[in-house]
Every structure is written in C-alpha cells, then in structure tokens.
Amino acid sequence: MCEVLRSSFEALFPSIEKAIKQADFVAIDTEFTGLVTDGQNRPSLFDTSEERYRKLRNSVTHLSVRQFGLSAFIKDKNSSGYEAHTYNFPLIPASFGPVDSCYIVQASSTEFLCRFNFDFNKCAYEGVPFLNDVQERLLCQSIDSGALFSGLERQFDESFIQSVCSTVAQWYVSSTVGQTLTLHKTHADAKLWNDFVIQTEVRKRFPEVWTMTDSFQNIAVMKVTPERRSELEEKAKVDREEEQEKLKQSLLGFTRVFRVLREYQKPLVGHNMLMDLLFLYDKFFQPLPADYNTFKRNLHDLFPRIYDTKHISFSMRKMLEAITGTFSTNLVQLYRILDSERATISTRFMPKVTHAKGFERYKSQDAPHEAGFDAFLCGYAFVRICHLLRFRDSTLDRGRASSACPFNMYLATMAPFCNRINIIRATINHIKLDGKDPPSLRPEKLIVRCRKRGRRLNIQQLAEWLSPYGTVDVRLLTPQSALVAAGNFSCAKAIMAAFKGHQHILVTKYRFWKHSQTAKIILWGGLLVSGGVCAWAVLSILKNSDS
C-alpha cells in the first residue's frame, strides 16, 4: 500500500494515473463521517429503490468522505496473475475563499473507526482536498473576479497573512534595490501557507517589490524599482494564469484521481458499494440529483461497468459452500474463503494476486476498515470469483490452458452481474444501474390487528415479539393495526405459525384491496361514481319517456 498525503500527492499523482491506465480493473472503498443523519433516513424493508435513494441522498449530502482506497489490478506479464497497486488517501474537503463545506460527523461512525485505530489526525493535517464541479466553478469565478482579495469576501487567516507582511515590512525599510528576502515555509505553518495568496498579498501591499517561488518552494521577495515592477508585471500575466491553475489543481486534489477513473472508465469493483457510489458522485462530480433514475443514468455514463462483490457472492452462495464448505458475504470472511487452500485448488491455474513492488504493506499487516486494505480485499475476491465462475464447469474450454485466460473473457462470464448493486434491508436485494430494477423477491407483507376492540397496538412491544423470528420492520397503520415486512420467507412463515392463536393479536397476510385505506377510498369512490352514472341514466330515461 502507498499512502497518499497532501504533501506527497503531486509527486505520486503521475504513478496513480499510470496504474489506473494500465489496470484491467480498479477496486475502490470509502470511509465516511457517518451513515445516516437522522432516524427518518434509516433503511427499512418497506423501502423501494426510489425511497432508499431519497434517504441515502438526504444523508450523503450532509456527510463527507474521510478516506478513499483504490487498488489497481494490473495483469502480470510473466504469469496468469495480477499485481495490485493499492493507494490509501486520507481526505478532507477543500477550504478556500467561498468554498468552505459544512458536514456532519456521526458519533457512532467515529467510535467504530476508533476501534480499528483510524488516524483522524492524518485526515485533518495531511488530508488530500477535493471539490465537485459546482464548487470548482464557484472557486474559479471568485479567483477570476478578484473577489478572493476584496475586503468583503476575504476568508484567509488574517493573522498569518499579517505576520508574513510584517516580516516583509521590517526588511523593506532597510533594504536596497536588488536585495532579496526569503520567506521560509515551515512545518508549523504548512496548513496556512499558500503561495498564490501570499505572493498576491505581498505584491499588493508593497508596490516596489517582486515575489517568486524558489527551487525549495520558499518565496523570494526582491526589492525593485517602479519601472522594473511594471516590466515584471507585464511579463507575469501568463505566469499569473499558471499560478491560478496551479492553485486550482492543488485544491481539486483527489478529484483529479476521480477524473482519471472517469476518463479511462476501467471496470469499477466494490463491496456493498451503493453508499460508495453516492459519495463518489456527490463529492467529486456533482450534487446528487433529486431524481433516482437521473442518478442511475448519469452514473452509468460515468462508469459503464460496475461490479459489486456483495451481490455477486450472494448469487453464488451454493457454489462457494460446495467448494469451501462455508459462506459469508462479510468482506474479510469472503477474502479468507477465496484465499483458502480449498478454493485455490478447486480450479486449475487459479490466478495469483501479489502486491506490486513498493506496495507490500498489506502483505504482512492487516488493516480492516482502512479504505486501501478493503479495496485490495475486494479486488482480490473479484479476481478469484471471476476464475471460479469461468471454469466452474470442467467441460468449459477443455484442453485450453486456463492460466492464460484474458480478462475480457472473465468479464463475459461476469456479464449477468454487471451494474447490479447490492441494497440492504429493502423491498429488493439489488438495483440495476443500466436498466429497470428487478421485481421484489421478498415475502408478502403481514398485517397485525388487535383481537379485542378498544385495544391499541404497542409498536415497540410488537417489534420485540416478532424480531426473534428474523429481520422485520413494523409500520403502524392505525392505533389497532400495523404492517409487517419480513426479511425472508422463512421469517414470515415462522411469524404466521407462532402467532396463529395468540390471545392479543391476529396476524394474517396483507391484501391491498382488503386492508388498505386507499383501496377502500378507491372502491367507495368507484361505487359513488357508478351509482351517480346509473342515477343519471335512469333520470334521463324517465325524462325522455315523459316527453
């Protein structure tokens, strides 16, 4: 693993771009500041895909990304295996001029990451910044208009700027034309130091000086004549544009990596990655659209091939159990299953995955819930799943050396899983990014009613009664009735059997036309309308007969 910090980002960016360009696929993972912003956005078995998107959008808009993991899997030229180039990015939203994001930090998410020794200081002090398209436009407009340096919109650390200018002023009084002062960037002021801002402010306050950046990234201040200053300003117009572009690129930070992913459109792999995709869209591209189908369409345009190993592993449960004798969709457990000797020898020429030179940290050290580590595990699982599915039938490609299986053949095998993203605790178990979502495979809803008139349902007590039989969600319809969504058919069946003769409640299958208030309104409305039509017809007949 290679850790990419704010201070090392520029130096490492070319190698990151090269790794993505050469990769057969890229695995990703993210760590967030929270999962849900309030109780109304919690997942429910009643959620349709549109409702779930609305809930997630409400949360993602107010949360941020703490860490991003990227593992580029490059085919080893000397073998059938892959080399993983894994990068871990601590992130923090860019803050400059009018761009200053506010976001929620959820206590439970922070506590969870603390259990895995997450380094929050690294995000705060060395986090790589990022902007989405809207923020970038706002920043560019502010730079181009000069509003950044106006008295009304200045959002810099004024005390730091003043201290720098005071140093220049003390030197300026006793200096002569041609003398130079070097302003040294120290580790202590690295977060406050910005070449563009400092040079702009110094040149603005001192008409007879000129500034430049030296080879050590310090700022040199030279005293010049007014004539020389005019000459340098004229020559510096092009340099000024370059300085502004350099500033913008430094603030874009990780967004530049996102744009490389977008440019090359390599197959993107994640594990239970719906939230990852929403964060990817909202923080590095554009604010999430209100319409669910617009989000799907735009995301598919960005990344045409996305694979979710959570959904894939669910789908191949029987096969994994047959091969290894065990099953889990937990990422770490799934990795161990697929890394086991039984999985390795189950199929000939199982591709070997190694860490590329300079990326070996995860070879000897596990780091669960570090984004880079989880991205690597996900990519590893994907490679092995591809091979297992491709050669699960011993008659397939008989006589060929499966050691040389091209990646495009793997993708052909994985076509049924492409763009199908796992969704937890909802009416459906996955969404389809490039088409219509699948129908629900959940059991029919149950309705619970009080057996005795005058009694009221206690929804908390009802949930306690039902939860031992499996995953359930309960929604109160009236004080005397509630709708129950069960996670699977065995759970629904067990509840029906257990409460068949219960003395307080009656549990039956929900029928829309029988139990829904909306259905009753429709039926009564239909009767009234049809009755009115019949009455009008009778009156018309009688009227005609009289005449």
> Span 90-119, mean pLDDT?
89
| Type of residue numbered 288 | L
pTM equals 0.80
Distance CA 417, CA 336 (A): 22
pLDDT 10s digits, 161-205: 788 888 888 888 888 888 888 887 766 565 666 677 787 888 888
Q: Token pair for residue 434?
A: 């490039």
DSSP of 517-545, one letter per residue? HHHHHHHHHHHHHHHHHHHHHHHHHHHHH
Mean pLDDT is lowest, of 113-117, 203-207, 278-282, 309-313, for: 203-207
From the centroid of its chain, how far is CA 32? Answer: 8
Residue 97, pLDDT score: 76
**How large a percentage of the chain has pLDDT more than 90?**
48
* DSSP-assigned letter for residue 327: -
Distance CA 267, CA 273 (A): 14
Angle between helices 371-390 and 317-324 (to 10 degrees): 90
Indicate if the pLDDT at residue 152 is higher than 50.
no
Residue 452, pLDDT score: 86
* Dihedral sign, Cα of residue 305, residue 309, residue 315, residue 318: positive
Place of tokens 């070879």: 363
- Of 69, 18, 62, the residue nearest 376 (C-alpha): 69
CB atoms within 10 A of CB 474: 21
Residue 300, pLDDT score: 97
Residue 321, pLDDT score: 87
Mean per-residue pLDDT over the chain, rounded:
85
DSSP of 215-272, one letter per residue? TTS-EEEEE--HHHHHHHHHHHHHHHHHHHHHHHHHHHBTHHHHHHHHHH---EEESS
Q: How confident is the model at residue 288 (pLDDT cuts 50, 70, 90)?
A: very high
Q: Token pair for residue 288?
A: 């999430």
| Type of residue numbered 56 | L
DSSP of 275-316, one letter per residue? HHHHHHHHHHT-PPPSSHHHHHHHHHHH-S-EEEHHHHHHHT
| Under 8 Å between Cβ of 343 and 416 | no
pLDDT 10s digits, 376-426: 999 999 999 999 988 876 544 444 444 568 899 999 999 999 999 999 999
Residue 187, pLDDT score: 62
> Span 488-517, mean pLDDT?
85
Q: How confident is the model at residue 156 (pLDDT cuts 50, 70, 90)?
A: low
**Burial environment of residue 335 by CB neighbours within 10 A (0 to 12, 13 to 18, 19 or more):** buried
Indicate if the pLDDT at residue 518 is higher than 70.
no
Indicate if the pLDDT at residue 308 is higher than 90.
yes
Q: What angle do CA 191, 196, 200 make, to 5 degrees?
A: 120
Distance CA 444, CA 435 (A): 25
| Under 8 Å between Cβ of 100 and 142 | no
**Burial environment of residue 518 by CB neighbours within 10 A (0 to 12, 13 to 18, 19 or more):** exposed
Indicate if the pLDDT at residue 256 is higher than 90.
yes
Distance CA 460, CA 173 (A): 76
> Span 335-341, mean pLDDT?
90
- Of 438, 418, 416, the residue nearest 428 (C-alpha): 438
Give the chain's radius of gyration (CA, Å): 31
pLDDT 10s digits, 455-474: 898 888 898 999 999 999 99
More confident residue, 22 or 239: 22
| Under 8 Å between Cβ of 334 and 343 | no
Give how far Cα 172 sits from Cα of 166, 175, 185, 194, 507, Å.
10, 5, 19, 21, 87
Q: How many residues does the chain have?
A: 547
More confident residue, 156 or 43: 43
- Of 319, 257, 270, the residue nearest 16 (C-alpha): 257
> Span 345-357, mean pLDDT?
86
